[in-house]
Chain A
Amino acid sequence: MPGGDSGAGDGADEAEDFMSDAFLASLEAQAAAGSGSGSRSRGVTTYSQLRKQTVAKQRERGYNKPLQEQVREKLDDGLNSAIPETNIGFQMLAKMGYKKGEALGASQQGLTEPIKVTIKSDKLGVGVESERDADSRKRARTAEELARLDAEHERARHDFRGKMNQRFGDRRVESDLHKARAACQTMDERAGVAMHAFWPAHVVAHAKEAEAAAAAAAEVAAAAADASSADDSYGQDEIPGATASEPGIHPFVVDVEGEKPEDGPAGDSGHESADADQVEPDFEDLEKAEQLRQVNAYLRERYFYCVWCGAVFADADEMAQECPGDTADDHEEL
């Protein structure tokens, strides 16, 4: 960024460079002149020393601390200084037999010091302070525990960040998946495919229900043929288990164990159609990211369609040239 450099340069022109030799030299001269014959100023070079000197000077000139602070200081001073032995009252009492440090009374059981003055300026109830003192004592004893708590906090903060990232990512995956499945339905329909598990979930579920209601044994063969024809189109390793046993939709078996995505949230797999088909691991039971990957792969292979480009390419070559890749991240840079 070229603008940044010039800005820094301007700043140096406006305010002096505090570390420049010229400035330091001038300071030294000032200090020497200011304190006249004083030898204290010799060797003053650092800023903090200069600052201390300024404060001391302000104090000499009668610089005022905040009123409240001054009042408090004087009060504490006064309350903490006992009456000195030079005081005439002390001497008079001494003449009656008083000795420093003793108490008065026939059996000398009285107070030795005046009653303490404590200024209460809050509305804290009785026992709050002592409770707090006790707490702090307790806490002091377990400094280790405190360190552990700190570490826990730190971890929690990390976890939180991770979780938030994940949540944000999930949302993006979901919206991409939604788009991809819709595109899949449109393209399949255009291509004459009757039904596909990749189509939007509600469409699939609806079709399943209709099928279960009409137990059409006669249609089995036709449907199987239809299915097997569709099956040819995507015989890939990742989706190995497409069988012809189920009518109407593309059934397939996924090795979930092997396919588990690293960052997929464990609790996110439950959804509306899960109870519609509990026996076999269903497409709907997969991680969203995996679903997206599969649908996407299907669309790219079969229709040269990229969800993120939002475009159908002429062939695999054109796709390889124009489309930056098969993940959302690949498209980010554009």
Chain B
Amino acid sequence: MSDATKKRKRSSESPAAPAPAPAPAANPYLAHMQADGPARAVPAGPGALKFRETTVKQAEDLEEGSTNPFTGEAFSEQYRRILKQRRNLPVHKQREEFLKLMHKNQVLVLVGETGSGKTTQIPQFLVYDEQPQQTGMMIACTQPRRVAAMSVAKRVADEMDVKLGQQVGYSIRFEDCTSQSTLLKYMTDGMLLREAMIDPQLSRYSTIILDEAHERTLATDILMGLIKRICRSRPDLKVVVMSATLDAEKFQKYFDNAPLMVVPGRKFPVEIYYTPEPERDYLEASIRTVLQIHTCEDPGDILLFLTGEEEIEEACRKIKAEADALAASAPSQVGDVKVVPLYSSLPPAQQQRIFEDAPPARPGRPAGRKIVVSTNIAETSLTIDGIVYVIDPGFSKQNVYNPRIRVSSLLVSPISKASAQQRAGRAGRTRPGKCFRLYTEKAFMKDLQEQTYPEILRSELGSIVLQLKKLKVDDLVHFDFMDAPAPETMMRALEQLNYLGALDDEGDLTKLGEIMAEFPLEPQLSKMVITSPRFKCSNEMVSIIAMLSAPNPFMRPNDQRKQADAAKSQFDDAQGDHLTLLHVYNAFVENEESPKWCFNNYLNARVLKGAVNIRRQLVRLMNRLNLPMVSPDAPDGPNYDRAIRKALTAGNFMHVAHLEKNGLYLTSKDNQVVMLHPSCCLASKPEWVTYHEYVLTKKNYVRTCTAISPEWLLELAPEYYDLDNFPECESKRVLKRLQAKRQSGRK
């Protein structure tokens, strides 16, 4: 119905658009907000090019021409050099096939293994085919990860010989690097989902590419559901679903038997070895296998998959010690090793070490070897060249939300067959490789599930439900999920949103819910921000939320734990971790965001810079929603932290634990025994705490805790703390007494 081509110019609307742009020049990411005249749409005379009717020949002629058709400037030397490489990518050979399929179909499923060039080339093929500068409609390519969105956008900007943020840009949560002239936009899947809330038909886009769909992130799954619906009302919208694995059938089926195109990857054969017997101790077996490969196999780097930081560090230590001992005892037969750990909480500089070369061979000795010991981030998100041997013990840590006790568990569990294949594939990137599976072939067949559970089955759905409601998806029971979540997970989401006041008892979005959906935050955090002006602490609350939305800012190197803890203690607040985060944020700003100051105080400057940016975006949102930014009247008064803690409680009342007489904390209603995380700054054990997250590992920890008063619970969340409808437990008795006291006091 809506002929999208009629919408000539994109409106400059974006979540933050109407805000008065304060000194926009200072922030390159806000370039799109500058009213600097019309975009530099260049005619470039492609008169012969017709929208979605171009040929490979036409495109290649343009690419090989002397001027860039999108900027009107001459192509650079670098461009020509890169163009040669691009022509060698496997996907280039199928450019014609791709265009034909795109011209004929609305949805295309494209399978291309790593190294096929699909992520960088397919969007460019479309740019030439659609000439977005003339239609005024963009091409979007979603990525599950922020880093990938940024780095691929940078690469493609180079390939197209344009400036990043101009014709090619990216958009990730809290960071928009696009402009009015942007034709091709790499973005996280979550960002496209947010845009759908403002623009339900996604009318700014002529084609949407869902990359890495096989990863089945929560946002990609929801997007597929939405796009399937939009496709019906927008026949002009084209969709490419790209996957790296061969399980494309599921996608084809979901999109009404969409055609499939397969692009071979640049892959070498990988020999797979199984153990004859199951291993009693997979860690010990991993170390043994590494050493065996090192002493017996040809040169080539090793990648070992383990489950977590602790295990990886232990393995690194042992491998290094044993390999050094071997090298010392037989220097003519055993080469040097470089053992490198890789996990997400590792500081970025140390993560870069995986790209270092293997140690050189010393005269008269065998070649050195690099051994990377990694979590499953090396399975998909990071590619390390030079890996020839992969060791796969068959485990990873999986994050699974359980709605019954409302806990996220981060537990070690067996991987899936698909995941095992992916791991094996890592050995064949540069030459034929070998993969050693530390389990039997029988166990592979019988004990491993086919696919890893998609994220939608493993996640808390609060903010997704809020977004779906905002998108006018009222029937969550029959929504066309590719994989539908457990009903109880949906119930918890609805319950949470109901108690927060975002949905009424009928499941309809309330006024408050509308506002809450504007924030790219978990619902309880949105609620805190929105109610904070009432407690006169919105300035503080926005800082705290920004800090909660950023990764952990505290650095704690293994060899300097004491110093790091001492540094952290300067910021500690007796009332809790949320306030500690606030102090860190304020100190960072007071010290003019100095990286040196951060370094001296064991703080991650990049994370804190990120928090400053997030805060800026949140403040803009607050302004747009007419929510005042205020601070308590007496910043030094006794009521300062009280106001903040109360505002926290207003959103977080479902995340509360009570200290029982026996010295244990029980979570409210679910009565789960929890412990304050060791990093918690609370010196004494307050009777009532609110926590940011409850994570089930080997121990039950609540993280980021702050002391609260039980009266606030009764005052701010009377529905949730309705004692007539509360499970029998000690906290109920305590609250009952308190309630009786309050009532008699009122009389």
Q: Do A and B bind each other?
A: yes
A residues bordering B, Cβ < 8 Å? Answer: 62, 64, 67, 70-71, 74-75, 78-83, 86-93, 95-98, 102-106, 108-115, 117-121, 123-128, 130-131
B262 at the interface (CB under 8 A from A): no
Closest 9 CB pairs of A and B: A110-B484, A127-B443, A89-B495, A125-B279, A105-B484, A89-B491, A126-B394, A78-B405, A126-B439
Known A-B contacts A88-B498, A106-B479, A113-B486; the reply to A125 vs B278 at CB < 8 A is yes
Q: Which residue of A lies closest to B696 (CB)?
A: A117
A111 to B481, CA, bound (A): 11
How close is A41's CB to chain B, nearest CB, in angstroms?
Answer: 28
Name the B residues within 8 Å of A83 (CB-CB).
403-404, 488, 491-492
State the CA gap A79–B407 with chains docked (Å).
10
Collect the chain A residues with CB atoms within 8 Å of residue B673's CB.
67, 70-71, 74-75
Q: Is the CB of A106 within 8 A of B443?
A: no
Pick from A71, A114, A126: contact of B393, CB under 8 Å: A126
Pick from B409, B458, B486, B662 the residue with the most CB of A within 10 Å.
B486
Residues in B with CB closer than 8 Å to A119 are 409, 411, 696, 698
Q: Chain A residues near B672: list those with CB within 8 A.
A: 74-75, 78
Known: A126-B278, A128-B280. A93 touches B394 (CB 8 A): no
Whole-angstrom CA separation of A119 from B400 in the bound complex: 12
The chain B residue with its CB closest to the CB of A97 is: B477
CA distance A71 to B667 in the complex (A): 12
- Is the CB–CB distance between A128 and B278 below 8 Å? yes
Closest B-chain residue to A98, C-beta based? Answer: B477
Cβ of A126 and Cβ of B479 under 8 Å apart? Answer: no
**Chain B neighbourhood of A97, CB < 8 A:** 475, 477-478
For A96, list chain B residues within 8 Å (CB).
474-478, 507
- What band does the interface of chain B fall in when counting residues whose beta carbon is under 8 Å from A? 35 or more
Q: A79-B404, A120-B413 are in contact. List 17 more A-B contacts (CB 8 A).
A: A78-B405, A78-B672, A89-B490, A89-B495, A97-B478, A102-B487, A110-B481, A110-B485, A111-B485, A113-B488, A114-B402, A115-B400, A115-B402, A120-B411, A124-B279, A124-B281, A130-B443
> Residues of A contacting B403 with CB < 8 Å?
83, 114
State in angstroms the CA–CA spacing of A300 and B491 once bound together.
102
Minimum Cβ distance to chain A for residue B396 (Å): 11
Bound-state Cα–Cα, A37 to B715, Å? 44
A127 to B441, CA, bound (A): 10
Bound Cα distance from A137 to B526, whole angstroms: 53
**Could you tell me the distance in whole angstroms from the C-beta of A35 to the nearest C-beta in chain B?**
25
A residues near B284, Cβ cutoff 8 Å: 123
The 0/1 profile, CB within 8 Å of A marked 1, for residues 394-417 of chain B is 110000101111000101111000
B421 to chain A, nearest CB (A): 15
Between A and B, 22 residue pairs with Cβ closer than 8 Å are A75-B700, A78-B404, A78-B671, A78-B672, A86-B725, A87-B491, A87-B495, A88-B499, A89-B494, A89-B498, A93-B477, A96-B478, A102-B487, A104-B486, A105-B480, A110-B485, A111-B487, A114-B402, A118-B411, A124-B279, A126-B414, A126-B447
B223 / chain A contacts, CB cutoff of 8 Å: none
CA distance A86 to B481 in the complex (A): 26
Smallest beta-carbon distance A112→chain B, Å: 7
The answer to whether B280 and A125 have CB atoms under 8 Å apart is: yes
- Compute how far the CA of A140 lies from the CA of B485 in the bound complex, rounded to whole angstroms: 39
Q: Which of B480, B489, B700 has the most CB of A within 10 A?
A: B489
A121 and B484 within 8 A (CB) = no
Q: Is the CB of A104 within 8 A of B487?
A: yes
A70–B671 Cα distance when bound, in Å, is 11
Among A114, A120, A128, A131, point to the contact of B488 (Cβ < 8 A): A114
Report the nearest B residue to A131, measured CB to CB.
B278
Q: Which residues of B contact A95 (CB under 8 A)?
A: 506-507
Residues of A within 8 A of B444 (CB): 126
B471 at the interface (CB under 8 A from A): no
Tell which of A62, A78, A81, A88 touches B661, judged by Cβ atoms closer than 8 Å: A62
Residues of A within 8 A of B481 (CB): 104-106, 110
B607 within 8 A of A: no
B17 at the A/B interface (Cβ < 8 Å)?
Answer: no
Residue-by-residue, is B425-463 near A (CB-CB < 8 Å gives 1, otherwise 0)?
Answer: 000000000000011101110111000010001100000
CA distance A21 to B278 in the complex (A): 61
Give the distance in Å from the alpha carbon of A105 to the alpha carbon of B494 in the complex: 16
**Judging by beta carbons under 8 Å apart, are A126 and B457 in contact?**
no
Cβ of B82 under 8 Å from chain A: no
Contact A125 B477 (CB under 8 A): no
CB distance from B47 to the nearest CB of A (A): 46
Interface residues in B273-292 by Cβ distance below 8 A to A read 275, 278-285
Least CB distance from A99 to B in Å reads 9
A80–B670 alpha-carbon span in the complex (Å): 12
Q: Which of B68-93 contact A (CB under 8 A)?
A: none
Q: Which residue of A lies closest to B275 (CB)?
A: A125
CB-based contact A117/B400 at 8 Å? yes
Which chain A residues lie closer than 8 Å to B108 at the CB level? none
- Cα A114 to Cα B492 in complex, Å, equals 12
The answer to the question of B505 belonging to the interface, with a C-beta cut-off of 8 Å to chain A, is yes
Query: Is B608 part of the contact surface with A, judged by Cβ < 8 Å?
Result: no
Contact residue among B281, B443, B725 (Cβ-Cβ distance under 8 Å from A123): B281
State A55–B233 Cα separation when bound (angstroms). Answer: 70
Nearest CB of chain A from residue B98's CB, rounded to whole Å: 30
Q: Is B664 an interface residue (CB 8 A)?
A: yes
Tell me the bound Cα distance from A105 to B453 in angstroms.
16
B503 contacts the other chain (CB 8 A): yes
Given contacts A93-B491, A95-B507, contact A126 B498 (CB under 8 A): no
A126 touches B476 (CB 8 A): no
Interface-centre pick from B279, B474, B494 (highest chain A CB count, 10 A): B494
In the complex, what distance in Å separates the CA atom of A70 from the CA atom of B275? Answer: 39
**B3 lies within 8 A of chain A by Cβ:** no
By the criterion CB–CB under 8 Å, are B279 and A88 in contact?
A: no
Which chain A residue shows the least CB distance to B725?
Answer: A86
B298 at interface, CB cutoff 8 A? no
B4 interface residue (CB < 8 Å to A): no
Q: Which of A95, A106, A110 has the most CB of B within 10 A?
A: A110
Chain B residues with CB below 8 A from A105, complex form: 478-481, 483-484
List chain A residues, Cβ under 8 A from B395: 120, 126
